[in-house]
Structure 1
Amino acid sequence: MTRSIARRTAALLIALMAAGCAGDYEGAPGAGSGGPAPGGNAGSIDAFYKQRIEPRLAFCRTCHVPGGVADVEDGRLFMLGVEPGNDQPLLRASWEALGGNGVGDQAESRILLMPSGRDARSHSGGAPWPVDSAAYADMAVMLACFEHPAGCLDGTGGGPVVADAPLLGSARGGHAWFDFCEGRDDSVALPPDPRSLVVPGVNAGKAVFFNAYWKDCHREDVPVGEEDAPTTCGELRDQWARGEALIKGDGAIGAGWYFGGSGLDGNFSAADYNLLWQAWGLPGRPDNFDQLAAERYGMALGTARNPYPMPGENPDASDGGSGQLPVGFTQLRGSDGTWTGNIGVNCHVCHSGKVGDPDEGEGLGVVFGGSNSLSEFGQIDIDLGGSAVPGVPLPLPVVVGKTRGTNNALALQIIVFLIAQDIRPLDPDFLGFALLTPNGGSIDAPAWWNMGHRPVKFQDGFLAMDALRSDFGFYLPGPGPGGFDWVRQHVRAGDTYISSLKAPAWPQAVDTALAEQGAVLFHAKDLWAAELNNPVPRPEAGNGSCASCHGAYAPRYVNDPAFLDTPALEGIASYIVPRDLIGTDPARVDSDSEAAEQHGKDNFFAYPETINADPDLDCSTQNRAEIRQGREVGYLAPPLYGVWASAPYFHNGAVPTVWGVLQPADRPTIWRRVSTPTRPDQFGQVVMGYDTRFARAYDRERLGWKYDVLACGDEGTTPYLDCNPSNHPDDPNLSLLLNLLSGSNPYTWYVGFGATRNEQLEDRKIYNTAMYGQGNQGHDFTAVLTDQERRALIEYLKTL
């Protein structure tokens, strides 16, 4: 620190200490001078300060207070107090510490230059006072009064200061239509879908950037044979009610299930389910069978009744039975309400999880529509000794995830190959796509509660959000006209329910002051400011903040025309970040090759009816070259509603906490989430799932799940192919070969027969970032943040 800065800082500290004893400044001595200011208008200056300046400083006080994120070497030159009534002398002292109004005709105080965005040094709070704003004009008058009190208020206007919108507040996801219809009559017409506002040219030059756009897959000129979107609150409620029965399960009439639509056969019988303890190697049916089934197969037990008949029970005589299924299973019922004793696997096996228990706080427990990182997808097929897929008699000799909690549900080559109406056996381009395209690797399912704020879907924007059929890919009751017709008849209602879901609210108290600092940083801090020397290339547009990619949420910024064209765009994120800029594991985006896009466009799920020479009207595969028109392929930055409840992070679930996302250096290489404690009398005999108890397993400081860091060679990390191939001292060749094969063939990644022993299931809890598709690299531009800024951002994210 130079002597000049040291002297100015000392003067500011003296002013801070003086302010600690200061009271109300109404009528106090002018300009902090200890006496009346020259010109005899001290009272007028004080009145102007109280009316026009003190409210403006509320924003500055968010960060420029002792202990705030601006409490750093340069930021200490402008510091305010905890109480607003004490800030007049501190403002004067800060003005002096920053060199007053400077010298010369063009000189201006940094107090004006930085918040107006005209200082060469960046302002982490952005530019809240543009040159043409009332705040800028008022502060310019006040600083002129500091320098020349006499006559400084001549010609200044009066009037109240418009109150700023708050920094904290969140819609918590869902779809805006449900908020709109709250308390309104069924006949009320719905406003435009906010996602439909995201079209080419929207938000041009604004802080939030969009480069992927809404497509209407249900235009009047394109008959797709599906129910129209609702137009009134009554239609919305009707579709929601039908969709809830279809999607939620819990024994509802009409519930949907895995490759069975809403039929009554189910994936397996309750009688078979009741015998699963035999496959677990237990001597008899345990008294906590329901919990153990949920733990082993990676699902949550909810508080809502979800019955099945236990041994010896008649389901119709016992209202479905006295057993409790996990949320990923549902017993099927006839249209007259009779119970079948057949069980179906539903969407929640991958898309719903659990955070905490209801006794730990309001809103804790089962999380519908969250990103379920609990699932041990497909293990029940192994334990049943046959496939749960209708028509397939044996367990499929593949695994759909290398690690518990991940999957590869969007297996493009397999889906297109199985569903394609013409597999083009002699087309070399098709064979090249089907046999040589890289595998997508591990995927962590996105949260449903963000669907109402995404114009495109999947990790790379592969399809338009209005391409509803893809959401029912695993409900398709067999390819062909019958199955396709069932999807057409039901998909609108299902989507309406799914898009209504809200993210759970953070269950504990929030440090409001710290969260407000985080809100400012999230929306306004330029991570590519010159002095930060960010080595990652700057995005093509936006203001360089988190909001630039992930959307605006704070009411103050949502209502700021510098951020959004209209507040209706609140929370919408639709920026596909180029592959090499985001830098995360490329396996998923590489698997969505041009060949996959070209052959996928004719797939039933991609709405081939909409294929059009006009790319703005074409609703089929969205990453084809003719649709992208020069936009680079990459990963879609998601909205961040309920981000605290959707760990682990990145598209492949490679990072267990938000802290690790923001600080790349702290990401573990091989890690394992903690497991639910085993009951003492069952220790060593059963497999427990990931622990979801909030007090025991959730890291509230780093925002995510607690985990153990493992080293290569620790128990469960063998054989050697589980370790980092570049560092292993023995033989890395097999691991390197498997990664190479997975990167050049879509099927080798699936090789495996699932876990047949408890030890194998335990080992699948280990997440190894050296394995194909599971890298934890990327998002490195947040390395320029300070730890204090990361803590503030994390506190803010709790509020979304």
Structure 2
Amino acid sequence: MIRQTTFLILGILGLLIAVGPGEAREPDAAAGYDHLINTTYLPPYFDQETFDNVWRIWPEPLRSKAEKASTDERRQMAFDRYGLTGRPEDPAKPLQYVVDKRGNWTLNCFSCHGGEVEGKPVPGLPNNRFDFAGITDDIRLTKALLGKKMVTTDYSSLVFPMGDNKGTTNAVNFGVALISLRDADLNFVPGASFPRMLHHDMEPPPWWHFSQKENIYIDGFAPKGHRALLQFTMVRSNGAKSFPAREDDFRDVYAYLSSLEPPKYAGEIDEKKVAAGRIVFNKNCSECHGTYGENASYPQRMIPIDDIATDRARLDALSPEHRQVYGKSWFNNYGDKEGLIADPEGYVAPPLSGVWASAPYFHNGSVPTLWHVLHPEQRPKIWQWDGKSYNHQRMGITTKQLTEVPKGLHAIDKREVFDTSRFGKSATGHDYPNNLTEEEKDVVLEYLKTL
């Protein structure tokens, strides 16, 4: 027993000597995932009782259907309504929220970055069904019904746009608003107010692209770093000291993001077409989107906005001043971290690994399938979700094409209708596939399944 105790003490001393006081430990990717699903970095939003009763404020006939359903069936109906999924390791728990032992629900990063394809939850996949505005509005009404205490988030959607379509959010302006109230050290500035903002919606990028990039975001303005991942925890209850205190956690999160790989396409693949598609792709697309397979490369190429000609609302929404405020803050090591681009000329062409799974496409989520990406003239002006099944023929989400937005839709159902004529939602641009023949487009589509 004495000998075992001696070895234990020596082992602890050896660990302390090896790591040393104040020295950073090796980041742990598995711990990073655990932090995201089990650690609360924001205040709780609602409790289990509220979520269990949210069906009571649903419109008919959905409410009557929920009333007759079992508890598990109602839970699944709520998950479907708001774009939530179970966790891969525990389907009964939401991937998109931390649920503590007291039943309090707190939003986490997987709300936007944890989606589903072919019925399977995929951490790191853009959540193309998440309805931030919908769940915020319905939870507020349910709290009022139950006599529950309201929190800041309950009122936020009344004054700040959350997102006009499922799967997209006004995330850029969340960041602009939150940092505008703080100084470079992230202390609150008395009397500070929100700047003028250009509200627009964005679709989140796949997290498995993170390891391929040096700069993040569609305009590539921000150098990558673990501190940058803490931006969206800038709520009032998190003071300046909370950010350095959580750096080790987010070093783990950084390692987790860097470890992610795209899901593999499980459908049928025509290898002959794939071989032909690889040749066409490498000749016409790889200059911007990179190469795949052995000796893969990603150029992180910035495309001028007039060349790419996609919706420019995202580019215009951040001014050079907005970007410099971030660049001179703690998040970017007070400007010591090189690579900030205060005035980018356009958008960075993204990697295409796992592109088959990440519909809809473009940074605003305006194009429902890869087939439509390759056929610019046939992109639908108005489209609506048609169930959750995957469209293997056109590679993307299953939709109905409409001539107008249906009247009388409930707000949540209306957010399933994408109108590309609205501000920030254009599906134009990226016309380069017009240089390809139909046969070339067909084989490129097949090749994209394999990336």
Q: TM-score range by the shorter chain?
A: 0.7 to 0.9
Work out the CA distance in 1 between the residues paired with 2:41 and 2:68: 26
Work out the CA distance in 2 between the residues paired with 1:548 and 1:389: 54
Work out the CA distance in 2 between the residues paired with 1:390 and 1:479: 19
Number of residue-to-residue matches in the alignment: 412
Identity of aligned residues (%): 29
Work out the CA distance in 1 between the residues paired with 2:275 and 2:330: 47
Question: Could you say which residue in structure 2 is the equivalent of 1:470?
Answer: 228
Are residue 267 (structure 1) and residue 45 (structure 2) matched?
Answer: yes
Question: Could you say which residue in structure 2 is the equivalent of 1:392?
Answer: 152
Give the aligned residue type for 2:307: L
Structure 2: 5+ residue runs without aligned partners?
1-21
C-alpha deviation, 1:389, in angstroms: 12
Are residue 326 (structure 1) and residue 94 (structure 2) matched?
Answer: yes
Q: Is the 8 A contact 1:258 1:389 kept in 2?
A: no
Question: Could you say which residue in structure 2 is the equivalent of 1:650?
Answer: 362
Pair 1:285–1:382, CA change in 2 (3 A): farther
Question: Could you say which residue in structure 2 is the equivalent of 1:574?
Answer: 300
Report Cα offsets for 1:54-100 as digits up to 9, x if no partner.
xxxxxxxxxxxxxxxxxxxxxxxxxxxxxxxxxxxxxxxxxxxxxxx
Q: Is the 8 A contact 1:419 1:603 kept in 2?
A: no
Q: Is the 8 A contact 1:259 1:389 kept in 2?
A: no
State the secondary structure of the residue aligned to 2:384. Answer: strand
Work out the CA distance in 1 between the residues paired with 2:68 and 2:314: 41
Q: Is the 8 A contact 1:664 1:780 kept in 2?
A: yes
Q: Is the 8 A contact 1:277 1:286 kept in 2?
A: no
Are residue 702 (structure 1) and residue 428 (structure 2) matched?
Answer: no
Report Cα offsets for 1:353-385 as digits up to 9, x if no partner.
11113xxxxxxx111101111100142232222
C-alpha deviation, 1:554, in angstroms: 3.3
Work out the CA distance in 1 between the residues paired with 2:187 and 2:98: 35
Q: Which has the larger radius of gyration?
A: 1
Work out the CA distance in 1 between the residues paired with 2:153 and 2:373: 43
Question: Could you say which residue in structure 1 is the equivalent of 2:293?
Answer: 554
Question: Could you say which residue in structure 2 is the equivalent of 1:286?
Answer: 69
Q: Is the 8 A contact 2:32 2:254 kept in 1?
A: yes
Work out the CA distance in 1 between the residues paired with 2:209 and 2:131: 24
C-alpha deviation, 1:575, in angstroms: 0.8
Work out the CA distance in 2 between the residues paired with 1:459 and 1:766: 24
Are residue 415 (structure 1) and residue 415 (structure 2) matched?
Answer: no
Pair 1:303–1:244, CA change in 2 (3 A): closer
Q: Is the 8 A contact 1:672 1:708 kept in 2?
A: yes
State the secondary structure of the residue aligned to 2:424. Answer: coil
Are residue 244 (structure 1) and residue 244 (structure 2) matched?
Answer: no
Match of 1:457 among 197, 216, 222: 216
Report Cα offsets for 1:560-584 as digits up to 9, x if no partner.
xxxxxxxxxx243411111111111
In the TM superposition, 1:723-738 aligns within 5 A as: none
**Structure 2 length as normaliser, TM-score?**
0.84
Report Cα offsets for 1:244-272 as digits up to 9, x if no partner.
2112x2xxxxx134624xxxxx3322122
Work out the CA distance in 1 between the residues paired with 2:32 and 2:271: 38
Q: Is the 8 A contact 2:88 2:122 kept in 1?
A: no
Pair 1:424–1:368, CA change in 2 (3 A): closer
Please give the root-mean-square deviation of Cα atoms over the aligned residues, in Å. Answer: 2.8
More strand by share: 2
Are residue 373 (structure 1) and residue 128 (structure 2) matched?
Answer: yes
Q: Is the 8 A contact 1:623 1:633 kept in 2?
A: no
More helix by share: 2
Work out the CA distance in 1 between the residues paired with 2:276 and 2:259: 30
Match of 1:624 among 336, 342, 359: 342
Q: Is the 8 A contact 2:356 2:395 kept in 1?
A: yes
Are residue 403 (structure 1) and residue 172 (structure 2) matched?
Answer: no
State the secondary structure of the residue aligned to 1:672. Answer: strand
State the secondary structure of the residue aligned to 2:121. Answer: strand
State the secondary structure of the residue aligned to 1:671. Answer: strand
Question: Could you say which residue in structure 2 is the equivalent of 1:584?
Answer: 310
Question: Could you say which residue in structure 2 is the equivalent of 1:784?
Answer: 435
Pair 1:597–1:329, CA change in 2 (3 A): closer
Q: Is the 8 A contact 2:208 2:257 kept in 1?
A: yes
In the TM superposition, 1:175-324 aligns within 5 A as: 235=26, 239-247=28-36, 249=37, 255-257=38-40, 259-260=42-43, 266-280=44-58, 282=63, 284=67, 286-287=69-70, 288-302=73-87, 304-305=89-90, 324=92
Work out the CA distance in 2 between the residues paired with 1:794 and 1:350: 26
Pair 1:276–1:448, CA change in 2 (3 A): same
In the TM superposition, 1:328-343 aligns within 5 A as: 328-332=96-100, 339-343=101-105
C-alpha deviation, 1:759, in angstroms: 1.5
Work out the CA distance in 2 between the residues paired with 1:347 and 1:471: 10
Work out the CA distance in 2 between the residues paired with 1:699 and 1:475: 36
Give the aligned residue type for 1:455: E
Report Cα offsets for 1:89-148 as digits up to 9, x if no partner.
xxxxxxxxxxxxxxxxxxxxxxxxxxxxxxxxxxxxxxxxxxxxxxxxxxxxxxxxxxxx
Question: Could you say which residue in structure 1 is the equivalent of 2:15?
Answer: none
Structure 1: 5+ residue runs without aligned partners?
1-225, 250-254, 261-265, 307-323, 333-338, 358-364, 525-544, 559-569, 612-616, 626-631, 676-690, 692-696, 719-757
Work out the CA distance in 2 between the residues paired with 1:606 and 1:415: 16
Q: Is the 8 A contact 1:449 1:502 kept in 2?
A: yes
Give the aligned residue type for 1:636: V
